[in-house]
Structure 1
Amino acid sequence: MKFDETSAGLGLRGLQIAPAQAFGAVRLVPLLREHVREDLRLETRPYGDDGPDAVGVRGLADRPDVAYFSYIPHAYVLRWSDDGTAVAARGASLSSKKQGLRTVGGVRVLHRMVRAEGPGALRFLPLHLSFEGFLSLHFGGPDVAWSEYSREALSHGLSPRRERAVLGAYVKGLEDAVRMFEIHERQVGALVFVADALAAMVCFPHPDDYRALHRALVRDFFGEIVYQYAILYDDVPAHRVAVREVEVADLAGLRAAVRRAGADWAAFTGDMAARVLREPLRWQTLHRAGPFRLRRFMSALHPDEDNHIGEAIVRDDGGELEYCKTFRLSAAQVRRAYLLDKLAQHDWDLARTAEALAVTREALLVRLRNAGFGYLLKGHVLKDLPP
């Protein structure tokens, strides 16, 4: 797997930021669509009602010997028209035959992460597109048979490769916030902050799609750091914007002052989410659906900053953001991915990688072991390392 393009962040083209609503440590910032179109719709397709123990499995298209295991409560079905005519969402389909899955030993088997379902329809697994991309980052392991690497690493790469996430229902305050907060008339998404740290950004093509999927936010998964922030912080400070009386002489002046206050609020919130909205991201295009592109992305993996992975659907005509979901990586997840990136950049040569990181070869080996990659190395390489 390769993120083959680096370009601008998600941006907010076609979207507006509305005033936030806060409950405890959770702050939801509504995203409103400026011009609602009808040529792209998205619906959910539940995979049963098995609660948090539901599991999905599938083989990777490029690696049939590798399987992906995860909690998968539902898929999304995208429907579109090529000529701009309206598309009606059809609602959830509950037939397992239509879902294209089978059950083996009580476990669901889904054969593809993304699958076309006839003209103008596409089924995909939300957030799993981005997480699969993250897990498969340099998954093949060393591409040169360096003597330090184990036979297993040279034969099978980073197998197994695993990461942890937390169900939204377990993020303190999120379920109550989703249940109680007002949904705006043109709302199609939200910026989700926990302790004023960006936890996720979600966006859908149509306000009706968002209304149908608003409560499904608690069935998404979030980073462990988001779960910890929700426990550590009881509330967040109120963000207020002031309208100065001396600047208001009539109704027109009041309207202008309110517009300025709204713009100041939107700019402030945009700064809080700058790592996904403005900073360059690494992209990979997964599927073209008529005039739309389904893509996944990843931050630049700076260990001292917050980093996110996610997926988006972008309109070719103007680049308007139609759909997105993001996931905030923990510091440990970033460290692991950062090490893999550096190793791959230097052909998995330990000495060259250590030099690039400005550390000794022994220090690099300790970092690899502590990051959970000790299984890649032969036993005698690790034997004399400090604890």
Structure 2
Amino acid sequence: MSGLDLSGLRARPAQVWGAVRLVPLVRAEPITDLRLHRELYEGGPLTVRGERGTAYTAYVPHGFVANWTGDGSPAAAYGSQLSDERDPVVCAPLHLPRKLVQRRRGREEGTRAGTGAATGPGKGKASGGPSGGLRFLPLHLALDGYLALHFGGPSIVWEEWTRRAVRDGLSPRAERAYRGEAIPGLDDALRVFEIHPGQCGVLVYVADALAAAFVVPHPDDYRALHPSLLQDLYGELMYQYALYGGPVPQFTARIAAEYITSLAELRSAAERRQQEWEREHAVLMAGELLDETYEVRQAYRMGRFRLSRFLPPFALHRPQHIGETITDGKGRVAYLKTFRLTDKQVRRGHVLHRLAAHDWHVGRTAEAMGISGPELVRRVTHLGFEGLLKPPAEGVAKGRG
């Protein structure tokens, strides 16, 4: 378990449009030996291979390609071209990726996709010079980890289990999400708001609830990927907040004129107000993301960088986020993308965690949760996992295993 280290990133004053609040994140020193760019995909839903013989199917509008160097020299974001940021980038025809994380072989492959064999977790290395690149599906790496959460089943088949679950396994499992284009006000906010000098990320709030965090290594990467926020996935709760929530207040900084006698004092006062905003934002708004501890699983090693996904502890009655990161050798975040779970999704993760911790034994799990066996069965059924257990029976009601 570990937290998110966003050191090196500083918050700038928020920009508000209706119920949407965007908080820019800037870097004093950009990361130059890791660069990101995207590849556009067409054709609707995409199916790729997951772990343990599973398949992941979702709407995937684009993939990210990470290029890095092993010796610390600057890396380039390939595929750059001049265009309006709001218009789709013209790309060569692509073969769609076969996996959530897939290595690209060499610079000469250009924008060609799906041709390199993927290596296992922890096997991507770079000793120096430009890499061939690593393609991954942004946010879908994290969603696949959430969907597969504890779906391996118990090591012992208890009496409460259904024959279908034993015979066919626990999949498929599905969750609902909304594209950014469906979030009222987000399109206008991204179009109207300015991009700050040195901006490498943004925190997206809807009705002052943190919807997503997006961080990239370099300001040029952010400018290129800024429009991609409209194609990202957002939880149902964020859609409802934007649809029914009213405008959020502007946070303005005031400087008492009677204490200002020179330009130097005005500059000093403005800097103090900016520092106060950064502290207040870290404590009041982004604390739910930064103060949490996560279960981190590495997906790929890229020289001094690590691509990982993380899951929260699924604590009830507080906001929980899933996501993915690229971190450097000291654990500092170079890339970050998060997804806020709905309360029901948190409850699903919570119940699955508890069942897995007690080897899916209904009686012991119910006892640990301080509830009865029938109540646990009711919760499992209400959360959409009715296929995991037999219909209510005497054995379940008594918690017999």
TM-score (norm 1): 0.89
CA contact (8 A) 1:241 1:264 kept: no
Deviation string 1:61-115 (CA, Å, 9 cap, x unpaired) is x422x2111000010000011111121211178444xx443xxxxxxxx321101
Q: Where does residue 150 of structure 1 map in the other structure?
A: 162
Q: Which amino acid aligns with 1:196?
A: D
CA contact (8 A) 2:5 2:331 kept: no
Instruction: Verify: 1:283 aligned to 2:296, yes or no.
Output: yes
Instruction: Verify: 1:56 aligned to 2:46, yes or no.
Output: yes
Q: Where does residue 188 of structure 1 map in the other structure?
A: 200
Deviation string 1:216-262 (CA, Å, 9 cap, x unpaired) is 10100100000000011121011123334455444333333222211
Q: Where does residue 61 of structure 2 map in the other structure?
A: 73
Q: Which amino acid aligns with 1:73?
A: P
| SS of residue matched to 1:19 | coil
1:293 to 306, 311, 316: 306
| SS of residue matched to 2:376 | helix
Q: Where does residue 39 of structure 2 map in the other structure?
A: 45
Instruction: Verify: 1:122 aligned to 2:117, yes or no.
Output: no
| SS of residue matched to 2:253 | coil
Deviation string 1:297-328 (CA, Å, 9 cap, x unpaired) is 12221110011000011111x33321110000
Cα separation, 1, equivalents of 2:6 and 2:48: 34
Instruction: Verify: 1:89 aligned to 2:83, yes or no.
Output: no
Cα separation, 2, equivalents of 1:13 and 1:182: 23
Q: Which deviates more, 260-269 or 83-92?
A: 83-92
Cα separation, 2, equivalents of 1:172 and 1:31: 23
1:346 to 342, 358, 361: 358
Gaps of 5+ in 2: 81-89, 107-130
Deviation string 1:311-359 (CA, Å, 9 cap, x unpaired) is 011111x333211100000011111111000000111111111111111
Cα separation, 2, equivalents of 1:249 and 1:382: 82
Number of residue-to-residue matches in the alignment:
362
Percent identity over the alignment is 44
Deviation string 1:101-141 (CA, Å, 9 cap, x unpaired) is 3xxxxxxxx32110111251100000000000000110112
Q: Where does residue 171 of structure 1 map in the other structure?
A: 183
Matches within 5 A, 1:134-283: 134-245=146-257, 247-271=259-283, 272-283=285-296
CA contact (8 A) 2:207 2:242 kept: yes
Cα separation, 2, equivalents of 1:162 and 1:200: 21
Cα separation, 2, equivalents of 1:247 and 1:140: 66
Cα separation, 1, equivalents of 2:322 and 2:289: 9
Cα distance, 1:380–1:361 mapped onto 2, change above 3 Å: closer
Cα separation, 2, equivalents of 1:261 and 1:158: 53
CA shift for structure 1 position 379: 2.7
| SS of residue matched to 2:335 | strand
CA contact (8 A) 2:362 2:396 kept: no
Cα distance, 1:377–1:231 mapped onto 2, change above 3 Å: same
Cα separation, 1, equivalents of 2:52 and 2:6: 36
TM-score (norm 2): 0.86
Cα distance, 1:352–1:47 mapped onto 2, change above 3 Å: same
Q: Where does residue 310 of structure 1 map in the other structure?
A: 323
CA shift for structure 1 position 201: 0.2
Q: Where does residue 105 of structure 1 map in the other structure?
A: none
1:364 to 370, 376, 392: 376
Matches within 5 A, 1:27-46: 27-46=21-40
Cα distance, 1:382–1:213 mapped onto 2, change above 3 Å: farther
CA shift for structure 1 position 59: 2.2
CA contact (8 A) 1:25 1:230 kept: yes
Cα separation, 2, equivalents of 1:85 and 1:358: 56
Cα separation, 2, equivalents of 1:246 and 1:319: 46
Instruction: Verify: 1:378 aligned to 2:373, yes or no.
Output: no
Gaps of 5+ in 1: 1-5, 102-109
Q: Which deviates more, 266-275 or 325-334?
A: 266-275
